[in-house]
Structure 1
Amino acid sequence: MGPTLNEIVISSGEPEKPAENITYMDASLYKAAAIGKIEEFNNYQRPELESLKTPNHDNVLHVNLSDFIEQILFKCPSLLRQTNAKGQTPLHVAARNGHSAIVKLLIKSRAKATDEDLKKLGMDQLNAVREMLRNTDQESNTALHVAARYGHVEVVQELLEFENPDFPYFVNRNQETPLHIAARRINWTALHAAAMAGDVGTLKATKIIVENKGDMTKETDENGHTPLHYAAHLGHDSVVEELLKWDLLAAYVGDKEWEMTPLLMAARQGHGQIVTKILSSCPGCCEKVDKRGWITFSFCGVKEQIMELLKDITNEEVAEKPVRPIPSITISADRLEKEREVHLVVAALIATVTFAAAITVPGGLKKEKGSEQGIPFLIHDATFKAFIVTDALAFLFSLCALLFHFGMLPPFSSIQRPTFLSHVGATTFLGYATYAMVIAFCTTIYVVLKPSYGLSFVC
């Protein structure tokens, strides 16, 4: 038995439309939908979930676009197609809020629709997804219109992934396509888009635009760039020529950040033909400078300096001074192999000697039966303790050196030759093992010869 609900039957008032049964969500259900508590909806079947709405006609998917969507859609897939009072589907709401993961989940859920449902609609999975993507709200906006308006790039990418690239998106009630909306966010005009494309088709579009709206040549985006700025920067010669035919003053406009004119941008990018075209049409442009006080020839000079510097570096000299190359450490594989063999013998000897010394400790062991049998006589001597520590270290370091060398051999190594870094590591550990062994030897001699001060002093 489900929670208490107020059931209201709402009629559209139009005889050709059937009455719509709506069950308004109470506070507990609304809260459950908001936090994604799917258990509260387990007692509702598909027809009941379809009629469960808020006063604004939002269904449970509109209330909460979260992880529990997949479970709700499994119970009632038709919720994907339901709209609220504004004609928005759950996909519209997800696109508006920039939830790219949820947009992907909704599309995936639509693609997983059962064959029976698709058969009723007379379409396959791909067409079912595209039909959902092309649903419009009361303002004739698709989900792509909405995502473009709010600047959610990831959502736009998810929506375009399943759409036919040749599909001509219709305009909304404000005569806007998704491209127009996206362009307006950064104050781009259609002429900006045409100038950036720069191919043969857009050259014709450029002519049509300037013939009908010639004042667009002066319009700037949020960075202060005109269409001529983009055409000059990208090296679109024909577009630059067409724009200059209609408006020469656009060549004198500087951008917001650096006050760079289209001429300076073309010079910076090394577009010589465009520089020539602009100067031939607007010779006064050469006097325009940017914020640094640079003119057209400043960029040309800097470019020449960079090329000369690169040429000098290639010849191992800068400003006629020889450049000393950084020496590289090289060592032959044969030499590494020979040193490895020697190191293996030395490391094995150190490991053997230190292991034997640990068993036959200096001073001997107590042989009397009792709790102290087998304990070294000199266990409380500080020098003896130093011997034990250094002997153990020598043994461990020699084992590390052996492991490094074994790791350099196939099949342990991914290469057939010993590597230089492994060689350095093995050599380092072998050096530490040698030092520790020498100290252990000295402490052994000292602790044994301690009664003879003359001999012990030598060590």
Structure 2
Amino acid sequence: MTKERDEDGHTPLHYAAHLGSRLSVVEELLKRDVSAAYIGDKKRGMTPLLMAARQGYGETCSKILSLCPDCCEKVDKIGLNLLHYMAFRDSVFPLGSSVFKRGGAEIVYGSVRNLMELEGAFGITPQEAHNTLRSKKQHHKQKQIKELLEELENDQVAEEAVRHFRLPNVSTERLEAIRNTHLIVAALIATVTFAAAITVPGGLESEKGSKQGTPFLIHEAAFKVFVVTNALAFIFSVSALFIYFGVLDILLSRFKFWRQTVLYRTRSVSGLLGYATVAMMIAFSTGSYVVLKPSHELAIVSYLICPAFFFVLHLTIFDYYIIKIIFHR
């Protein structure tokens, strides 16, 4: 049964490699019949090893090669080999850092080393494919490879689509547009939270004395939550502005983690603004609650703002995955 094929030419080992099954499943199938590792499917001529690499499953690739090292010599119908697909994913092989980076993981299987210089589709080697996809310069081979990856994402095995290829290359124009959007959002959040910190809910003591300027609701638990979350939203948004304006570059330039790409910083700012938005929402909810508490009905409404936000957020994520499943089917 290990070599039995379905209508698409997929064997059980193809399924195990594509779905990322437990390594024990892959090992058991190959121990029963190692020749299953050499079988290509009907559409693209992909072996189980190539399917595992296409999905980015480095450990599965290592397991297949440990039991059948020669199967790496098989290529698909357009000449792509194991390392081409690992270049598309920037995969780890066998374990550790990427083989395509200087000082990357050592290739322990001798026959795999020969694949690095073999040309496949578009006359491009695995190393060239890796460098091309991650280059800031646009050229025709980069476009051809991206079109191929979009085509690969439409493939399915056992009704499970190929995982989305997350390519780090983003155009300068796109990064600039994202940066401008982030600056606007960060500035708005910083402005709103700064104003909220000065004009606190419930007002301040105006009579002269030791308590002058003290918030009336300072002992309320909801008010304390408002102050903390409002401060967090302000800190996150200002931190995002500091990153983009380079204020932290001088202070943190000695640390290795800070010497990152523009894309990395853009993603970091996205995370900060996400936290700032959540903190601002909680501050709004608790601030409304502490002011409207005398009115029982309005207090309940303000209290439900926070749970409603997270419900809508989870509902949006759920809808995204439902649409993704329907689309792939």
TM score, norm. by length of structure 2: 0.40
* RCO comparison, higher one (Cα < 8 Å, 6+): 2
Structure number with larger C-alpha Rg: 1
Higher helix residue share: 2
TM score, norm. by length of structure 1: 0.29
